[in-house]
Amino acid sequence: MRIVILAVVAVLSVPLTAQQGGETAPVVYQVSFPAPEHRFAQVEATFSEVPQTLELRMSRSSPGRYALHEFAKNVYDVHAFGGDGKELELARPNPYQWNVSSPDGTVRLQYKVYGDHVDGTYLGIDTTHAHMNLPATLMWARHLDDRPVRVTFVPPAGLDWKVATQLFPTDSPWTFTAPNLQYLFDSPTELSAYTLKQFSVRNPDGKTYTIRAAIHSGATAEEIDRYADGLEKIVNEAVTVYGEFPKYEPGTYTFLADYLPSNSGDGMEHRNSTVVTGRALGNALSTASHEFFHCWNVERIRPQGLEPFNFEEANMTDSLWLAEGFTQYYGVLIMARAGLLDPVQAIGQFGSLARSVVFDSGRQFRSAVDMSRMAPFVDAARAVDRTNFKTTFISYYTYGGAIALGLDLTLRERSNGKVTLDDFMRAMWRTYGAPGGPAPGLVAHPYSVADVRDRLADVSGDRGFATDFVNRYIVGREALDYARLFARAGIDWRQRDRGHAWLGDLRVDAQMKIVDLVDPGTPAYDAGLEQDDVITAANGKDVASPQALQAILRAAKPGDHIQIAFTRRDGPRTATIVLKEDPTVDVVPLESPSADQKAFRDGWLGSQRH
Ligand SMILES: [Zn+2]
């Protein structure tokens, strides 16, 4: 995708004046906001030394987002001009593309793009800010991916805005550069009157980096201080997992924190920054903890399928259970280790991850690898038609989080606490992350599931264990024995309602209509009940409310039969439900763990800073 360009440029006759010191001509953007109240940006882009036909594209995807997002829909008032200023004709070969032929090798493109959605994926412009995800904002040209880029932002007159971004700074506070298209589109940019907080960190090699937070929010100064203090704790705890910070190429890592009542909640990782958004700053640290972990895991320890990111298609990888799931686990773990989350709450969150994988019906149909491949259909994707994802899909955040939890506890159990998941992450970092790539924004060695198995073999010192673990719990659909693993840390996996009759976790409304899909493998499913059926009677008695059905269940025992009458789309029906025992478990840390259990728990959930 990227290497075509040299061949194309070589055969063109282009004016030599456009070349600077033998380098390819940069792509130059200017982004202005002439009327922010109308929520559009005016973009001007200049492409020099271009091929005979320049293929201009709006992206259909964005780094870290896996569903298609048609950013072209918000583009309008598009014009192109040649180097002589004459307007050129634009062709539209497909909905995402504008083709233009320039007689002199230069195309000056102008268009407007509307945006009113503040999160990590889209564009949001109003009189308080321009919150830009660049794939949602900038048109790009095919075959020019390797060209350096120069972007100048023009703030609206009279507003006190400044720029926050991971783009490389220049002498002008409004002009930034990127070495290539991949880096450019990985660089969300916020223009607003944000509050800047920063601190520096030091690597073992002596290099220092500045960690910045650009906080655009209505929060009080105290709330912003508390948030910034929390970020510093998170950053200093997270680095203990890997032993070093990545090479942040601009010398900085930036949290672009945007918390306003009209925002959508989101967190989106990037190489040297993250966008974290929501309505209020209150509980924002857990999002920051997750996203910061991504500057190692996904941005540099990168799964095959996401490298290089394809802006024209959905991007699929086998490994989101690691890229997102392990990050989910560490986001919580680091909050606990940094003293920002009560360990009991962390254990509660880990318990939820494990329970989902053990009990949710999705695992009957798909493995962690299969779940990862579903991302283009579930990651901020909107379907018009109904899906049965509720019963056939478990989020790779949850599934992978549970695998991380189970693997961490397994490694600790096997080695008596000497080998942990941190060692595995460090092995992944050394092999795939730390070596870097040919240019900022590129990763030379993205990993496969087989690579994960090999690094697990290295870290555990047991190839048979690594192969078995990957085959059973990652490629296969088995669940780990969480009851046993939790016991080592003094955490009880406790059946909640032993001996109680259960027909499944049925969701019904006040009129006894089943409002959600019925889980395969439950008594209600086996009896043929499904979403939209309306239950009318049980054992010959009218059932007018969920409470009435509950009363009948309370009086019954596992193994009992219940005669159900219900109304389906095609008329009244009856069925026999064979009740089972309620399998629901609670995950409860023992209040008085043994000394051994306490030591295990402290080694796991306690701070790793020395
Ligand atoms: Zn994530």
Distance from Cα 418 to the centre of ligand 1, integer Å: 28
Whole-model pTM: value is 0.94
Distance from Cα 447 to the centre of ligand 1, integer Å: 17
Distance from Cα 331 to the centre of ligand 1, integer Å: 9
- The per-residue pLDDT for 15 is 40
Distance from Cα 516 to the centre of ligand 1, integer Å: 27
Closest Cα to residue 256, out of 298, 215, 201, 198? Answer: 215
Residue 190: phi, psi to the nearest 5?
-115, 125
Alpha-carbon distance 591 to 58, whole Å? 56
440-462 pLDDT, tens per residue? 989 999 999 999 999 999 999 99
Distance from Cα 302 to the centre of ligand 1, integer Å: 13
> Which residue is it, tokens 């059932």?
543
- The per-residue pLDDT for 439 is 92
The predicted model gives 76-90 an average pLDDT of: 97
Distance from Cα 306 to the centre of ligand 1, integer Å: 14
- The per-residue pLDDT for 380 is 80
Distance from Cα 279 to the centre of ligand 1, integer Å: 19
Alpha-carbon distance 315 to 317, whole Å? 7
Distance from Cα 65 to the centre of ligand 1, integer Å: 10
Mean pLDDT score of the chain: 95
Query: In the structure, what pLDDT confidence band is assigned to residue 2 with cuts at 50, 70 and 90?
Result: very low
> Which residue is it, tokens 């890997």?
242
542-558 pLDDT, tens per residue? 999 999 999 999 999 99
Query: In the structure, what pLDDT confidence band is assigned to residue 13 with cuts at 50, 70 and 90?
Result: very low
Distance from Cα 275 to the centre of ligand 1, integer Å: 11
- The per-residue pLDDT for 10 is 38
* 400 Cβ contact list (under 8 Å, min separation 6): 320, 321, 322, 323, 324, 325, 326, 328, 329, 368, 372
Contact at 8 Å (CB) between 227 and 284? yes
190-226 pLDDT, tens per residue? 999 999 999 999 999 999 999 999 999 999 999 999 9
- The per-residue pLDDT for 19 is 41
Alpha-carbon distance 491 to 173, whole Å? 53
Query: In the structure, what pLDDT confidence band is assigned to residue 11 with cuts at 50, 70 and 90?
Result: very low
- The per-residue pLDDT for 610 is 81
- The per-residue pLDDT for 282 is 86
Distance from Cα 289 to the centre of ligand 1, integer Å: 10
Distance from Cα 71 to the centre of ligand 1, integer Å: 22
The percent of residues above 70 in pLDDT, for the chain, comes to 96
Distance from Cα 171 to the centre of ligand 1, integer Å: 34
Question: Angle 161-164-168 (CA atoms, 0-180°, nearest 5)?
Answer: 125
Distance from Cα 376 to the centre of ligand 1, integer Å: 15
Closest Cα to residue 131, out of 177, 175, 164, 154? Answer: 164
| 18 pLDDT more than 70 | no
The two three-digit tokens of residue 591, written as one number: 């209040």
Contact at 8 Å (CB) between 321 and 403? yes
Amino acid found at 231: L
Distance from Cα 407 to the centre of ligand 1, integer Å: 19
The two three-digit tokens of residue 581, written as one number: 């025992």
Centroid of chain to Cα 186: 13
Distance from Cα 295 to the centre of ligand 1, integer Å: 10
The predicted model gives 529-539 an average pLDDT of: 97
Distance from Cα 268 to the centre of ligand 1, integer Å: 7
| 9 pLDDT more than 60 | no
- The per-residue pLDDT for 327 is 98
Report in angstroms the alpha-carbon separations of 475 from 14, 118, 300, 453: 52, 36, 23, 11
Q: Extract the runs of DSSP E, i.e. beta strands, from 404-507.
A: 491-495, 501-502
Alpha-carbon distance 199 to 299, whole Å? 22
| 335 pLDDT more than 80 | yes
Distance from Cα 73 to the centre of ligand 1, integer Å: 26
The predicted model gives 222-247 an average pLDDT of: 98
* Residues in the chain, overall count: 610
Distance from Cα 305 to the centre of ligand 1, integer Å: 16
The two three-digit tokens of residue 170, written as one number: 């220049």
Distance from Cα 450 to the centre of ligand 1, integer Å: 22
Distance from Cα 419 to the centre of ligand 1, integer Å: 25
Query: In the structure, what pLDDT confidence band is assigned to residue 382 with cuts at 50, 70 and 90?
Result: confident
- Scored b (16 or more CB within 10 A) or e, 471-499 reads eebbeebebbebbebbbbbbbebeeeeee
Alpha-carbon distance 285 to 276, whole Å? 9
Distance from Cα 437 to the centre of ligand 1, integer Å: 22
| 354 pLDDT more than 60 | yes
Cα torsion 501, 502, 507, 512 to 10°: value is -50
276-322 pLDDT, tens per residue? 999 999 889 999 999 999 999 999 999 999 999 999 999 999 999 99
